[in-house]
Amino acid sequence: ILNVEQSPQSLHVQEGDSTNFTCSFPSSNFYALHWYRWETAKSPEALFVMTLNGDEKKKGRISATLNTKEGYSYLYIKGSQPEDSATYLCAFSKDTGRRALTFGSGTRLQVQP
Amino acid sequence: DGGITQSPKYLFRKEGQNVTLSCEQNLNHDAMYWYRQDPGQGLRLIYYSQIVNDFQKGDIAEGYSVSREKKESFPLTVTSAQKNPTAFYLCASIASGGAESYNEQFFGPGTRLTVL
């Protein structure tokens, strides 16, 4: 079983603060790195899928970067809002036929108004 | 609307009983997956199926069984052999076809199973 590590485990910020999380993953046989947002009582929602070293993706105030050589990805949230409160999951897939994802334990973000 | 449905949302089981969790998708996806989540841990893969009438064990398959008789359905049975079944269970599917999907998974809302 591969290990995907996410940090911090939880984070409390004030509305308007910018924040970032880290995801570390094994760099061998890399295929894709995924970020999901998981709000309470809802299904996890895909934010980004990144495949190339140096990839940067952006969706509104949220962006992500990828370094496949050293095995890490950062997720940034600019100007956090209460609606950003959720658990952010990172997942990694290898270049195999299984196509399943290996998930980290997530970073739980709470944004205080 | 296309999506994945799971039922029930909450399930209570007595020790020694088998229970079956439902997962249905109308996304026309070939591959389907079952994950389990425990507090403080990431999602762990139980079983997966890449095509009808075929399925494979994931990382924590002991005490579980599945079937894939239809493309739309991938039920998970939690048997009495599963030592610690209390957990949150998520079903997912992957878009069919080419590499451009990069294995992006679509998830159902989950079932919380509690053993009494």
pLDDT tops 50 at residue A1: no
- Structure confidence by residue, pLDDT tens digits, B54-73: 999 999 999 999 999 999 99
Q: Are residues B94 and A46, on separate chains, in Cβ contact within 8 Å?
A: no
Residue A65: CB atoms within 10 A of its CB come to 17
With contacts defined as CB-CB under 8 Å, which chain B residues touch A4?
Answer: 42
Q: Is A96 on the interface with B (CB under 8 A)?
A: no
- Structure confidence by residue, pLDDT tens digits, A10-49: 999 999 999 999 999 988 888 889 999 999 888 999 999 9
Report the share of chain B in percent with pLDDT over 70.
91
Give dist(CA B65, CA B102) in Å, integer. 27
Q: What is the pLDDT of residue B81?
A: 86
Contact between residue B108 and residue B40 where contact means Cβ atoms under 8 Å apart: no
With contacts defined as CB-CB under 8 Å, which chain B residues touch A32?
Answer: 102-103
Give dist(CA A38, CA A53) in Å, integer. 25
pLDDT tops 50 at residue A59: yes
Among A31, A91, A99, whose Cβ lies nearest the Cβ of B31? A99
Q: Is A40 on the interface with B (CB under 8 A)?
A: no
Closest residue in chain A to residue B95, using alpha carbons only: A99
Residues composing chain B? 116
The band of A76, judged by pLDDT with boundaries at 50, 70 and 90, is: very high
CA distance B60 to chain A (A): 10
Question: For chain B, which ranges sit under pLDDT 70?
Answer: 1, 96-103
Q: What is the pLDDT of residue B66?
A: 98
